[in-house]
Amino acid sequence: MMAIKVFLKEEIMEIIKTNKIYIVFLLFLFFGLSSPILTKMMPEIISQIAGDFQILLPEQTWIDSFNQFFKNLNQIVLIAVIIVFMGSVVGEVERGTALLVLTKSSSRASFIIAKFLAAVVILIISLLIAYAGCLFYTIILFPDVSFALSLQATLLFLIFSIYILSVTIGISAIVKSQIVAGVVTLGIYFISSMISLFNNKLGYYSPGRLIKCQGDILNGTAGLSDVFLTSAITIIISLAFLFLGIAIFNKREFYSNN
Amino acid sequence: MAIIEIEKLTKEFNGIRAVDELTLSIPKGSIFGFLGPNGAGKTTTIMMLVGLIFPTSGEARILGESIHGKRNYLKRIGFLPEVPAFYNWMTAREYLTFVGELFKIETGKLKSKIEELLESVGLKQEKKRIGGYSRGMRQRLGLAQALINDPEIVFLDEPTSALDPIGRKNALDAIGSLKDKVTVFFSTHILSDVERVCGEVAILNKGKLITYEKVKKLRQKYGGNCILVNLTEISEGLFDTLNNIDWIIGLEKSENTIKLTVNDTNRAYYELPKIFTSAGVGIIKLETIETTLEDIFVRMVVNDGD
């Protein structure tokens, strides 16, 4: 536990000092603040573009604001998160910094767990601030905002993004280059999103369903109980990726990078 | 009492033996020189001992504990790789604090230890981030981190190769001062460094141990005597003649100087002038010099290759 704490402190300091935090945090914040404003202005923007053509849009609501917010998080932000954290383990192996710390009597598992926890901490803080920003502007711009439903949809995003982080860190511990780590993790992310589109059991229980269901949660056609099993399976798959990464990393050999 | 015991340690990469049934027993408190040309298997051996790579076969016990087990001995050893890599965004103090915390060193003790180590490696006044350090400064920081936990054994892989003469002298002084307190496993290809600080030396070539002796004994056993002859000229014929003489066991040529290692000095004093005279060359100077470890090393590695 002590080693995890020391590695975690180092990892969070690294994320801050190497500016990774600003990329993640600013992207979250940008979409948190811009989504409600863009949603509110959308009819006006479309009518400006359309010119003389009459395009009838349904009235924008707080649900559209949050749908826009999650659409951006599910795509642009998660891809950015993968790119930022894909080198967490393999990058240290490539640079040789892992070589010294892994001979200091701390377990290799603690090294990986700390990297995962640091990424989760940064993600949760960024998400909470972005959500607060989105909620604030949505309340100002739209009537009848449901705090509970928006929070439930955010919780689904959180579970899915923790799944993506466990894949990112797990793969980073398994492969031997950052590029391979990025390609494999992005591949798993896209496959996870695609499988959820299948109308069968595989689609129903796949992690991607969590982000697919955000809209249904927001408009009240689905509740958390509808995604309970999917959430549990997602958490199990996340742990499996992490344990697989640790198991393979434990058997890895490290060479001096001279 | 042996603090490091290595028994038939072997490491294969794709069927090629990088370390081939290495057997060594290193006593406590010694400064042990681990010599060998590039690719001899020195780094591979150290990496196996510190748990970064796994042996194909064989056994090694460090502080009485097998390297195949949980490796609790890592708490009691220090390690400096040939090219130490640090977190460039940290300062030396931050890095040593991080490493000290991994060893669970109590905060007050850690602070004073860090200052003591930074002083000894000449980085006490250094405030900039490690990213701005030269290779020599990194090597010195590497030495400091290897000693943060007051190790009983410290593994140093080519610790002086990146240092300038003053840095090398300081590092060797620091390593020498560890004698009898810490067992030093000192891998290098710089023979003068070994001669200066090491009591015992093992020579490794192509993964195999060629010899393991005390430096003094090695000189007595394999040294022979060296004669340096400065001649008016050296022809190819003369060099070939010398090469074929059985009491000459080593021969090196540079411009008009020949360095001979002989196993019978008296015979050499009588025979050499005759050989040079019959070859038509004059002797400007002839002197006996002490055999260096380098002479022995080159001869042993070359003979091993033959």
Please indicate, yes or no, if residue A29 is contained in any of the structural domains: yes
Nearest CA among B61, B105, B27, B80 for reference residue B187 = B80
pLDDT tens-place string over residues B149-182 = 999 999 999 888 777 888 788 788 888 888 888 9
CB A72 within 8 A of CB A31: yes
With CA atoms as reference, the chain B residue closest to A16 would be B89
Least-confidence region, from A15-24, A157-166, B64-73, B287-296: B287-296
**A87 in the Ramachandran plot: left (φ > 0), alpha (ψ -120 to 50) or beta?**
alpha
Give this complex's ipTM: 0.87
- Closest-CA distance of chain A to residue B293, Å: 26
Question: Is A69 among the domain residues?
Answer: yes
Residue A255 lies in a domain: no
pLDDT score of B188 more than 70: yes
First to last CA, chain B: 36
Which domains does chain B show, CATH number per domain? Answer: 2-215 (3.40.50.300), 224-290 (3.30.70.920)
Let me know if residue A64 belongs to a domain. Answer: yes
Q: Are strands B2-13 and B57-62 parallel, antiparallel or unpaired?
A: antiparallel
Please name the residues between 65 and 124 in chain A that touch chain B, using a CB distance below 8 Å.
95-97, 99-106
Region B77-106: mean pLDDT is: 95
Reported as a single tens digit per residue, the pLDDT across A190-245 is 999 999 888 888 888 899 999 999 999 999 999 899 999 999 999 999 999 999 99
Inter-chain residue contact A14 with B84, CB threshold 8 Å: no
Total tally of structural domains belonging to chain A: 1
pLDDT reported for residue B263: 77
- Which of B52, B85, B101 faces A95 most closely, judged by CB atoms? B85
Assess A1–B contact: CB distance below 8 Å, yes or no: no
B72: nearest CA in chain A?
A105
Asked if the structure places residue A60 within a domain, the reply is yes
Tens digits of per-residue pLDDT, A132-173? 999 999 999 998 899 999 999 999 999 999 999 999 999 999
Question: For residue B223, what pLDDT is reported?
Answer: 63
The whole domain housing A143 covers 2-250
Residue to mutate among B89, B102, B130, with most A CBs inside 10 A, is B102
Tell me, yes or no, whether A155 lies in a domain: yes
Element (H, E) at A183: helix A178-195
User: Which member of A3, A13, A99 has the closest CB to residue B85?
Assistant: A99
pTM of the model: 0.85
* Residue B101 contacts A where some CB pair is shorter than 8 Å: yes
Residue among A18, A95, A254 whose CB faces B52 most closely: A254
Is residue A258 in some structural domain?
no
Q: Which residues of A touch B82 (CB under 8 A)?
A: 256, 258
Please indicate if any CB of chain A lies within 8 Å of the CB of B87. Answer: yes
CA distance A64 to chain B (A): 43
**A199 assigned to some structural domain:** yes
The answer on pLDDT for B226 being more than 70 is: yes
Q: Alpha-carbon distance A154 to A81, whole Å? A: 17
B225-242 as b/e, with b when 16 or more CB fall inside 10 Å?
bbbebebeebeeebeeeb
B63 CA: distance to closest CA in chain A (Å): 14
Residues in chain A closer than 8 A to B14 (CB atoms): none
Q: Show the tokens assigned to B57.
A: 């076969």
Q: Are B153 and B77 in contact (CB under 8 A)?
A: yes
Question: From the list B52, B72, B99, which residue is nearest A99 (CB)?
Answer: B52
Residue B295 sits at the chain A interface (C-beta within 8 Å): no
- CA gap A138, B113 in Å, rounded: 55
Q: Which residue of B has its CA nearest to A257?
A: B83
The pLDDT value given to residue B199: 87
Mean pLDDT is lowest, of A41-50, A237-246, B21-30, for: A41-50
